[in-house]
Amino acid sequence: MTKLSEGAIEALSNGTGGNDAVLQLVNIRKIDGGSGLPRFRVMMSDGLHTLSSFMLSTQLNFMAEENRLAPNCVCILKKHVTNILKDKRRVVIILEMEVIKSAEDVAGRIGEPTPYTEGNGSQQRVLQSSSLGHRNKGFNRDFGKKAPSAMPSTPGDNSKVVPIASLNPYQSKWTIRARVTNKSSIRTWSNSRGDGKLFSMEIVDESGEIRVTGFNQEVDKFFSLVEVGKVYYVSKGSLKIANKQYTSVKNDYEMTLNGESSIIPCEDDCDVPVMQCDFVSIGDLENREKDAIVDVIGVCKSVDEVTRLTTKSNREVSKRTLNLMDMSGKLVTVTLWGEEAEKFEASGQPIVAIKGAKLSDFGGRSLSASFSSTLMINPDIPEAYKLRGWYDKEGHAMDGQSLTEVKGSGGGLTNWKTLSDVKTEHLGHGDKADYYTCIATIVYLRKENCLYQACPSQECNKKVVDQHNGMFRCEKCDKEFPNFKYRLILSANIADYADNQWVTCFQESAEAILGQNAAYLGQLKDSNEAAFDEVFQQANFNTFVFRSRVKLETYNDESRIKATVMDVKPVDHKDYSKRLIMNIRKLAAQ
Amino acid sequence: MEGILDVPKPRITCGMLSQYIGRPVCFVGRVEKVHPTGKTFTVSDGEGKIATVELVCVLDEELSGVVEVVGMVSNKGAIMASTYNVLREDKGIPFDLELYAEALKVIHEFPQHYPFEVAASG
């Protein structure tokens, strides 16, 4: 069977190509031309779609008159030109065409093409027999598959358009006209029952929105056809009760595409809304439950660099955080993942809207854009313009109060605690270690045994054994060295207004606290004890921001909480003051 | 004026000047305009409001930036300065006047937690 150029009809209709397309002639009709010359109108098929707006240029009239162009013959479209009429309709003028298989040699209609809709209202003929739920199956079927010979002038859709809000599982013959607001990428799975792939999208019309999923064959059929932002006529999908866990789409039902479904582009899209969002004010996020799916819009006040991290399943994934602020004056941190994180363009503090973001209680309140969220930058919606206006006038000067507790430079998520909280909240008692940040003052530093002799190799910090012959042995590297490097393990007691705590500080944090490096301290200890003591005196009673890790450890039947300082930073008084004021206000409101 | 140094001096903003007439206060604000005579200048507080500071001795240097003024509030709502000191912007972290105003709001809202009194020594 001859292979037709699938997709050529669409390309020809859009004016984007179709040269040398192999098409099957479905129908040919003679029209009286104005100038006395007859004109021939043809309907061509590419196996996928039929299009009736083809006109034979007069120089090819002979082909029709010699009966070379009979229904079902297969031709190559060698030269053509697409004209756009006053009413926006496109007509393809065939300038040169060659019949490669005559009608007698072709068994019949190739494929099951459906009429390609150009979306022109005047061309749609509402067939009274095909309204929603009508039983005239036979007629519909014919219409969809074989264009009756008197057909060429109406490629339009074959049923009335109904609102998305009226879709339900009990009616199967409907057509909706909707805009795609979100399309996921193709996801594949492989389990004991086999493999498969799927994609999903969300579509919206004046009445509402609905989630649509396509599996396996439907992925092949529709995934590349559908573009976000464009409007399509969708018919004959199956409806079922929606699984609300993964979507913020407001509809009791969701749609699955099947073998009978069709998605046809629609040109006339001005009535269909661009997006249906129910934005939550950032200030209100505190009142929402964690794991809720919400829509938000705000000004992107700041954005961090993309980082890569490895998940538990050893997959590498990109991540980026940004801060959104809206008119409530509150800020929230949003995390983007994967391609969205990498592609995000943050210049000039754009308005960012996210539909279907997941609310988490990480760091207080924060948002994450999951694979089913849609991220829009500077969307063309009224809320965006309102925000832009507000931001330019007053918002830009505001610092905003963050719902996500982020330390100083906006790095990792922090967890501010007082030292008594560590005990009362039993931090570190779980399976995993707990991390928290606190501001505390050093009240005691143990200078005895704060230094140890370590392997001089770059990567190795293991304690070396003194061989007493001038050599030092490292068991890990299995080598002997004539030297060693000093490293610090500092035991300290830190305190705040609530409680105190014993912590261990390793090299970097210890050096930061003492203000000297380990090698110098080692030297002082051996040579100048007074100076060595002085270093510790000076370091005492300084206040820092400590980021600590705490874990319950069992040693010889005894369980104790061990706290290790991961990082020490000087106190950022501004940040601290802001946090204190925020906490005071929160307490006052209770 | 020496007496003023031993007495508690509540920190206030412009909005509170009227409540502290005749009392010693501490006012932190950004210098706006210095009068040509050098005897008085205006300051703005963290909320953007303006107050006038009157000096005993004439200014011997150009004043700018954030300044902390200690003095009595006159009947007209101006501050008769006994002493002032400039919070230098070129050293350390710049002073955040708006944050300071926020903090003052808290202090005055909860006087039970932030009492203005001289600690008893001994």
Which residue type is seen at A483? N
Q: What is the pLDDT of residue A408?
A: 38
Q: What is the pLDDT of residue A399?
A: 67
Chosen for mutation from A576, A581, A583, A586 (greatest number of chain B CBs closer than 10 Å) is A581
Q: Which of A288-297, A460-469, A477-486, A542-551 has the lowest mean pLDDT?
A: A288-297
Mean pLDDT, chain A, as a whole number?
A: 80
List residues of B whose CB lies inside 8 A of any A CB: 93, 96, 99, 102-103, 106, 109-110
Q: Which of residues 548-577 of A touch B (CB under 8 A)?
A: 573-574, 577
CA B93 and chain centroid, separation: 20
CA distance A444 to A440: 12
Mean pLDDT of A473-479: 87
Is residue A257 within 8 Å of residue A222, measured between CB atoms?
A: yes
3-state secondary structure of A531: helix
Question: CA nearest A358: which of A310, A290, A418, A437?
Answer: A290
Mean pLDDT of A117-126: 42
Burial readout A42-67 (b: 16 or more C-beta within 10 A, e: otherwise): bbbbbbbbbbbbbbbbeebbebbeee
Model pLDDT for residues B4-60, shown as the tens digit of each residue = 777 888 999 998 888 889 989 999 999 998 888 888 999 999 888 999 999 888 887
Strand partners, A500: A495
Mean pLDDT of A551-569: 86
Question: CA nearest A266: which of A157, A146, A424, A382?
Answer: A157
3-state secondary structure of A109: coil
Model pLDDT for residues A214-228, shown as the tens digit of each residue = 988 888 888 888 888
Give me the phi and psi of A529, to 5 degrees please. -65, -35
CA distances from A522 to A363, A396, A455, A466, B38 (A): 40, 51, 15, 16, 58
Mean pLDDT of A434-439: 88
Model pLDDT for residues A263-300, shown as the tens digit of each residue = 888 877 666 666 667 788 888 887 777 778 888 888 88
Mean pLDDT of A178-186: 83
Burial readout A83-117 (b: 16 or more C-beta within 10 A, e: otherwise): eeeeeebbbbbbeebebebebeebeebbbebbbbb
Extended strands (E) in B1-122: 11-12, 24-34, 40-44, 50-55, 66-73, 79-87
Asked if B93 lies within 8 A of A577 by C-beta distance, the reply is no
Model pLDDT for residues B98-112, shown as the tens digit of each residue = 899 989 989 988 888
Q: What is the pLDDT of residue B73?
A: 92
CA distance A559 to A434: 16
Q: Is A588 on the interface with B (CB under 8 A)?
A: yes
Asked if A581 lies within 8 A of B102 by C-beta distance, the reply is yes
